[in-house]
Structure 1
Amino acid sequence: MEARARILRIENGQAWVKLSGKQGGCGRCDEPGGCGSVQISHVFGMPRDEFSIPADARFAAGDAVVIRIPDGAPLRAALVSYGLGTLLLLVGAAFGSLLGGVQHGDAWGLAGGVAGLALAWVVNRMLSRSRNWRNSLSMELSVEENCSRRLRVLQ
């Protein structure tokens, strides 16, 4: 996945970038037949188009850049963040209900669900500290001119 941006400023090894153009969805939101599903992301306010990303000395304010995220990284992050929590909540609640039996099934189910969520929180915290996990989700910043030059060489 790629997004084009412009570097606004560089501070302490972080490049503050502003995304260029319309972001999100398939790009057909405003066309006839487009579903407009990206509008759901605006429910709680407009998405931010300015953020920071680690950058080295070859970048300067005003550079047009391309931000790349590895294929599948957003899906993996969402599945681990949300899917794991949901799965462990349900498994914990079911296991707790079985342990509680007929008389105390609801209370034990609640306790099991909370325990499942707590376990998911612990796993997600451990993953966020894992260098391998963070590297698999990291963004790459490159100067846009280099990208177009590389495309011309490949054609």
Structure 2
Amino acid sequence: MQAQAQVLQVEPGRVRLRVSNAGGGCGRCDEPGGCRSVQITQAFGLPTAEFWLPSELVLAPGDRVLIAIPDGGALKAAMASYGLGAVLLLLGAAAGVALSGEGPVDAAAAVGGALGLGFAYGLNRLLFRSRSWRTQLQMKLAPEAACLHSFEESR
């Protein structure tokens, strides 16, 4: 996945960028039959298109660059963040119901679900601290003229 950005500010070891083509989905959001799925990402306000990235490139404000993440990186991050929590919530609730015996089933499901979410939170914290996990999600920055199609080969 790639996006174009413009350099706003340069500091030693990092640059502040503004993403210029923050499209999403299939591009049919506002067409008849389009799902307007991008609107859900803006439910709590417009997303910021400016952020800092580490960079060893020699850049100046106004330069244009390409930002790339490895294929599958966004899916991996989403599955770890949302999928793991959803699965462990359901497994925890099911375990709570199974272990409740004759007791209050709803309370046991709620406690089991909360424990499952807590476990997912702990696993996500461990993943974030893992250097090998972060490397899989690392963004790469290159001058706009460069081609980042061979991102996997350059890691």
For this structure pair, what is the TM-score category when the shorter chain's length is used for normalisation? 0.7 to 0.9
Closer, same or farther in 2 for the Cα pair 1:140/1:89, shift >3 Å?
same
**Paired position in structure 1 for 2:114:** 114
**Paired position in structure 2 for 1:95:** 95
Judge conservation of contact 1:100–1:106 (CA < 8 Å) in 2.
Answer: no
Between Structure 1 and Structure 2, the one with more helix by share is: 1
**Paired position in structure 1 for 2:127:** 127
Q: Which runs of 5+ in 1 are unaligned?
A: 151-155
**Paired position in structure 2 for 1:153:** none
> Could you tell me how far apart the structure 2 residues matched to 1:31 and 1:97 are?
46
> Could you tell me how far apart the structure 1 residues matched to 2:125 and 2:6 are?
32
Measured against aligned partners, the alpha-carbon deviations of 1:16-51 in whole angstroms (never above 9, x if no partner) come to 101113522223334555443222222221121111
How far residue 62 of structure 1 moved from its aligned partner, in angstroms, is: 1.8
**Paired position in structure 1 for 2:140:** 140
User: Which TM-score applies when normalising by structure 2?
Assistant: 0.86
> Could you tell me how far apart the structure 1 residues matched to 2:82 and 2:20 are?
29
**Paired position in structure 1 for 2:17:** 17
**SS in structure 2 of the partner of residue 41 of structure 1:** helix
Q: How many residues align?
A: 149
User: Which TM-score applies when normalising by structure 1?
Assistant: 0.86
Closer, same or farther in 2 for the Cα pair 1:97/1:19, shift >3 Å?
same
The answer to which of 3-12 and 116-125 deviates more is 3-12
**SS in structure 2 of the partner of residue 111 of structure 1:** helix
**Paired position in structure 1 for 2:6:** 6
AA paired with 2:70? Answer: P
Aligned-residue RMSD, C-alpha? 2.0
How far residue 90 of structure 1 moved from its aligned partner, in angstroms, is: 0.8
> Could you tell me how far apart the structure 2 residues matched to 1:104 and 1:66 are?
56
Identity of aligned residues (%): 50
